[in-house]
Each structure stands twice: as structure tokens, then as C-alpha cells.
Amino acid sequence: DQQVKQNSPSLSVQEGRISILNCDYTNSMFDYFLWYKKYPAEGPTFLISISSIKDKNEDGRFTVFLNKSAKHLSLHIVPSQPGDSAVYFCAASIGGATNKLIFGTGTLLAVQP
């Protein structure tokens, strides 16, 4: 039972364009969502998070949008850079980031120069 899903296993975009990574969840109890970037054989690196009381959070080139009614969130990266190429995981929790995280299946982003 995959509670957090990323339906696109991979995404390829041109440098300078926008990257949009999507994530869907099924558990309406989730109230905190995070995005992590991960390279092979390394631990995830935190990018950005959003509480369920908000619908948007922005940090530099990264913006996360949350649509609670659709149980959907997305990560926008603008402009995309080759260094952004990695696997991106969305994660969800109940009660904040310090509680256990349920991860999505990941999306491999490739930013072409």
C-alpha cells in the first residue's frame, strides 16, 4: 500500500526551463510534506517543506505547491540547472518533519545543458 506516489519515474528538461515534479498521497492525515534530493549511494538532502495549512512555499529556485483537496503536491524548480540532476523524493508525515516520514518512489530528474 503505497501511501505516497510519484507517478513519473523520470523527467528530462532543458537547462533554464522549469522542472515540475509531482507527488500524490492517499492518507488525509498527512499534514506535513517535504521534498528531498538524493544522489546514488548518498543520504537524502532536504530541499523544501510545506505544512498543510499552506498551499505554497517558496525558497529561492524551489517552490512547493500543495493541493489538499486533490491530495497532490508539486515541486517547481526555476530555472533548472544541470546540477539539479538527481532523484527527487517527496515525503509526508503526520505531526511534522520530526515524525516518521513516508517516502514516495522518487523521480529521476535530468537537466540537459
- Restricted to residues 2-21, the positions that interact with other proteins (CB under 8 A) are 2, 4
- Cβ closest to other proteins, residue 1 vs residue 69: 1
- 35 forms beta bridges with 48, 90
CB 14 within 8 A of CB 112: yes
User: d(Cα 75, Cα 42) in Å, to the nearest integer?
Assistant: 21
Name 84's Cβ contacts closer than 8 Å, sequence gap at least 6. Answer: 19, 37, 77, 109, 111
Exposure of 37 in the CB half-sphere (CA atoms within 13 A): 13
Query: Is residue 105 close enough to count as binding other proteins by CB under 8 A?
Result: yes
- # residues near other proteins by CB under 8 A: 22
Residue 80 is a binding residue for other proteins (CB under 8 A): no
Judged by beta carbon, residue 63 or residue 88, the one nearer other proteins is 88
Minimum gap (Å) between residue 113 Cβ and other proteins: 25
Q: Is 95 in the site for other proteins (CB under 8 A)?
A: no
CB 93 within 8 A of CB 101: yes
* 102: contact with other proteins by CB under 8 A: yes
Where along the sequence are the contacts to other proteins (CB under 8 A)?
Answer: 2, 4, 34, 36, 41-46, 49, 89, 96-98, 100-106
